[in-house]
Every structure is written in C-alpha cells, then in structure tokens.
Structure 1
Amino acid sequence: MKKAFKLFQKAASLENNAAQVYLTNMYINGEGTDKYYDKAFELSKKLAKKELLCGINLLGHCHDNGIGTDTNIQKAIELYQKTANLGSCLAQHNLAHIYKNGEGVEMDYYKAFELFKKSAEKEYSGGITMLGYCYNNGIGTDVNK
C-alpha cells in the first residue's frame, strides 16, 4: 500500500482528480498511511470546488461522519442531495440512509426506498442490497420476500 500511497500522493500534487480521490480515501481509511482526517477534509473541499460529483459526495461524507470537521448533518444532506439530483448512485444511497434513520430530517421510509431503488437501478451494490432489505422488511414498500 505504501507504494500506491506515494504514487497517488505524487499524482495528486500534479492535480490529478482520480489520484486526489484515492488519496482522500486512503487518508480516511489509513491505507498506506496513518489516518489524516484533516488532510482528507481539505482534499474533499478541493475536489468539491471542482464540481466533481465524487468530491462533493466525499465532502458530504466528511460532514456526515465528522471527518476533519465537526459533524454537520444538514451540510451533508445538502451535498448528498446536490449529487443525488445529478445522478450519483452513492449519494442516493447515502441520502437514503439518512431518511431511513431520520438523521437530521424527519424519518421517511418511502423517500429512503425510492432513493435506494434509484441507486440499485444504476447497479450500485450497496443500493441493491438495501433495496432487498427494504422489500424484506417493508421499508417504504410492502413486504415482498
């Protein structure tokens, strides 16, 4: 991992967007390096300023989970909503969890179901799994085992 980290670090310093995304995730997860939440947050902000969907979603993830910043669920919702509206299956999935759990919003199983469904329709495995969970447990829909 350290070789990958160093290469992503070098490419990120040359403003390669994909490398910056990989590096951000490595800082968050401590892969090839120690966990550096502040660096992850700063890189996420940089990517979001470029209007990259993955960067906006990463910034939402930081706000959602207090990575390099205080937890701010309203800011996370705003960022997830922006990218979900633009078709990001990961943002749809993340936003669906917020509605399913009622985090910073009124719990809305129907809205969660619809967002999981959109995510699943784009073949996102997390969305597919949660759509199955919804059908199995009657979350926003009738039970259909």
Structure 2
Amino acid sequence: MEELHTHYHYFSNEEGDGYEIYSCEYPDVKGYGDTYEEAMDDMKRNLDRYLQRIKGEKMEAESLMEQAIAAYDAKDFLKAKAIWESLSNTNTDAMVNLGTMYVKGFGVAKNIHEAFTLFDRAASQGHEVAAFYLGGMYENGIGTSPDAQKSIQYYTVAAEADMATAQLKLAILLRNEDILNSMKWMIKAAHAGESQAQSLLTYVSNQAEASDINVAFRMMDESSQRAKVEMVISENLAPILASDGGGVELVNYVSGDAPEIWLRYLGACSGCHLGPTSTAGMILEQFENVIDKKIVIYLW
C-alpha cells in the first residue's frame, strides 16, 4: 500500500480514551482504536476493503461497458441504452455514449436537450470528448443558445487533452480575437495530423538541408533576433507583397536551434501559399538571405 497521509483525533468517552484516524486521500475511510497504532491498523484494514470494493466496481463497470459497446455495434440499441443508463450516474463514458444515442436517435427518440444535459454532466467531471461536443453545441446553438465564449471554453478543455479536431476548431474561433493562441493551436493540430489544419497552415523550412548557421544572428539575444525578423518584414517583404495588395505580420518568434517565425497573411496574400514557387517560398528565401537558413516558418 502506498504511503498514507493521515489525520487523527484524540477523544474520550464513557469507555475511555481512544484515537480516530482517517486518510487525507480517502476521508470517509476511518479507523478506531484505544491506541494510535490500533487505530492506524484498523484504518488500513478498512482502507484495503474500500479499495478492493472500488476495484471490483470498476472491473464490473468496464465489463458492462464492453457489453454495451458490443450491443451497440450489433445494433442492439435497447440493450446498449439499458446498460449505459445503469452506469450513467457515475460513469462519464456512459454519459457520453448515452448522450450520443439521444443525438442520433438510436434506440431512443432524438432528444438534443437530454444529450446536452448528459454531455454537460460528463464535461463537469473532466471528460474531454463531452467538452468537445459541448463546444460544438455552443458554437452552433444546438440544444442551447449560441455562445462563442463557452464554445471556446469547452474546446480549450478538449484541445488541452490533445484532441486535434478541437485544436483546429479553437484555432479558427480565436483567429480574430487572439491570433497568437489561434496559431498555437493550429500548429499543434497540423503536427497532430489534422488534415484541415494542414491544408490551412503553410509550413516552409530548409532546416533539414541547412548545414551552416548565421553565427552573428544566433549570438543575439531573443529580443534582438525578433527585431531583426521585424526588419525583414518591413523592409524586404512589405514592399514586395504590397504590390499584390497583401502582406504579412509577425505573430510570434521562437528562438532555438531552428528558430520559428509565425506569420499571419494579410489581404490578398491570404490565398497565396499554394505551391513551391508561391509567396511562401519567396518569404522563406527573404528570411534565409538575411536571418538564417536553418529556420522554420509557419504562415496562416
């Protein structure tokens, strides 16, 4: 048994003095005895029984979940529903699965409000899929009034749990109000393999082929490096891109072995990142000429 963090109370009653001990981790489990040692032994015995019971309940729930999933896959929706309903007071997976049945109308009449209630209960207990579903419901006004801030709140929970689709959704919702976090999530989604994020975000770099670095640039502190990047944008890129009615702005600069430059397309340039000879290639070339060849550029 792992090391226990405990509290104890010393008490007196008609039968004499004694001790009551409880675990900080499991405050409902207590032990009693005439001495501290007896109370500790009693508490450990009670805790062991408690943990065994919890383990048995968990194994039973897992077995029932497997039965429900098998029934659902076999289109025995009534059986799946019955099992998930029996578990839905405490099991967040059961809440989400049951809510999904209400959304789809499988084995039950469609009931978006019931689904919303189940997702909300599961999300309040940290279920990231439920949070993702709520993000979509608040975004689109399904089962509730549209609420952009709540949509962002729930998508953030799912995004932080590494759900790539949630990261994409969050990036799109934040684009006009928080471009830094918007690009952060878009980059994460693209690296996680989210196909739409990969189609929206442009990644250009020659770091794999670069064998030399700009030593003078690397010796600068980060703020000086960033200022150099800003100079390339204003003096080299802006005049070229302005002729086509577009431009770019610096969203973030991350120093390191392969410095990252996050850029936001402006105006007509929002669609000129489609190919090796496109604006993206030109932008990379300008930075390589002035900054360094071993760099990474993200454009969106």
Determine the C-alpha separation between the residues in 2 that align with 1:76 and 1:19: 23
Tell me which residue corresponds to 1:131: 198
Indicate yes or no: 2:171 matched with 1:41: no
Determine the C-alpha separation between the residues in 1 that align with 2:132 and 2:165: 8
Tell me which residue corresponds to 2:84: 12
Which TM-score applies when normalising by structure 2?
0.38
Determine the C-alpha separation between the residues in 2 that align with 1:59 and 1:22: 14
Q: Residues 116 and 11 of structure 1: is their aligned pair in 2 closer, same or farther, counting only changes over 3 Å?
A: farther
Structure 1 unaligned spans of 5+:
none
Residues matched between the structures, number = 136
Q: Matches of residues 56-75 of structure 1 in structure 2 within 5 Å?
A: 56-75=131-150
Q: Which amino acid aligns with 1:117?
A: I
Structure 2 unaligned spans of 5+:
1-71, 204-247, 249-262, 266-271, 276-300
Determine the C-alpha separation between the residues in 2 that align with 1:97 and 1:32: 35
Q: Secondary structure at the match of 1:35?
A: coil
Larger radius of gyration: 2
Greater fraction strand: 2
Mapped contact 2:81–2:107 kept (Cα < 8 A): no
Q: Which amino acid aligns with 2:186?
A: F
1:21 aligned to which of 80, 87, 96 = 96
Q: Secondary structure at the match of 1:143?
A: coil
Cα shift at 1:75? 0.9
Identity of aligned residues (%): 26
Mapped contact 1:96–1:112 kept (Cα < 8 A): yes
Q: Which amino acid aligns with 1:130?
A: A
Determine the C-alpha separation between the residues in 2 that align with 1:43 and 1:64: 18
Mapped contact 1:12–1:23 kept (Cα < 8 A): yes
Of structures 1 and 2, the one with the larger relative CO (CA 8 A, separation 6+) is: 1
Mapped contact 1:92–1:116 kept (Cα < 8 A): yes
Tell me which residue corresponds to 2:239: none
Q: Secondary structure at the match of 2:146?
A: coil
Determine the C-alpha separation between the residues in 1 that align with 2:183 and 2:150: 22
Which TM-score applies when normalising by structure 1?
0.71
Greater fraction helix: 1
Q: Residues 4 and 140 of structure 1: is their aligned pair in 2 closer, same or farther, counting only changes over 3 Å?
A: farther
Q: Secondary structure at the match of 2:75?
A: helix
Cα shift at 1:70? 0.9
CA RMSD of aligned residues (A): 3.2
